[in-house]
Amino acid sequence: MQGAPACCATLLLCLVAHSAGASEPIVGAFEVKLGAPSNSAEIRLECASESSCTFTYIAKVGNEPPVVETTALNDVRPVEKLAEAANALKYAISQQSREIRHEEYAEVMSRLRPILATRPTIAKCWDLNHLAPDYLLACTLSGTPPTSPPLYLFGTLMANCGEAFCRFVIYPMSSVK
């Protein structure tokens, strides 16, 4: 193939390789919803580019109007050292068969179990720079089932390692169409 990069053995492989890099996996709209309708939390992440996102948190308690907090994140950047996220993922994998008493963590872990069973690894993470550097990461995983969520929110755990998570709570985020 004249003009094609040396890494591409066929035109199809070349097109797939270069089209995959054209759009970063963080670009788009993603969400996770937790809890029951009367007592729930919803986290949304909408990224127009690899460096600019909007983070929205919606909390609903009882009959009160929902509380909505929206933050523009304009300093999103790829994470160079993935060790903390990788260790948090390994910890969650090791905890997947434990009984979890913490209500939120139990709900999150029940959604993660089919993914963790495949022993995925971190593919790429972005530091959302929300509140502080490395406080909130958005990551993609490799080695997951084809039906797995495309993005995982790693939120700083404000406690010691526990019955499900260590360093980060890992929230699977679905694409919003």
Tell me the two tokens of residue 149: 């969520």
For position 113, what pLDDT does the model report? Answer: 95
For position 23, what pLDDT does the model report? Answer: 54
Where does the pLDDT of residue 171 fall: very low under 50, low under 70, confident under 90, or very high at 90 and above? very high
pLDDT digit string, tens, across residues 25-72: 899 999 999 998 889 999 999 999 999 999 999 999 998 999 999 999
Tell whether the model's pLDDT for residue 14 goes beyond 70: no
For residue 63, what are the β-bridge partners?
A: none
* Phi, psi for 87 (deg, rounded to 5): -65, -40
Burial class from Cβ neighbours inside 10 Å (0-12, 13-18, 19+) for residue 141 reads buried
Tell whether the model's pLDDT for residue 13 goes beyond 50: no
For position 159, what pLDDT does the model report? Answer: 82
> Which are the contacts of 89, defined by CB distance < 8 A and separation ≥ 6?
120, 121, 122, 141, 170
Where does the pLDDT of residue 21 fall: very low under 50, low under 70, confident under 90, or very high at 90 and above? very low
Q: What is the dihedral of CA 86, 88, 90, 93, to 10 degrees?
A: -140
pLDDT digit string, tens, across residues 90-134: 999 999 999 999 999 999 999 999 999 999 999 999 999 988 889
- Alpha-carbon span 173 to 115, nearest angstrom: 12
Contacts of 7-15 with C-beta under 8 Å, sequence gap 24+, read none
Q: With beta carbons less than 8 A apart as the criterion, state whether 128 and 137 touch.
A: yes
Residue 122 identity (one-letter amino acid): I
Tell whether the model's pLDDT for residue 7 goes beyond 80: no
- Alpha-carbon span 104 to 117, nearest angstrom: 20
For residue 153, what are the β-bridge partners?
A: 138, 171
- Alpha-carbon span 60 to 103, nearest angstrom: 16
Domain ranges (residues) in the chain: 25-175
pTM score of the predicted model = 0.83
CA 59 to chain centre: 19
For position 19, what pLDDT does the model report? Answer: 31
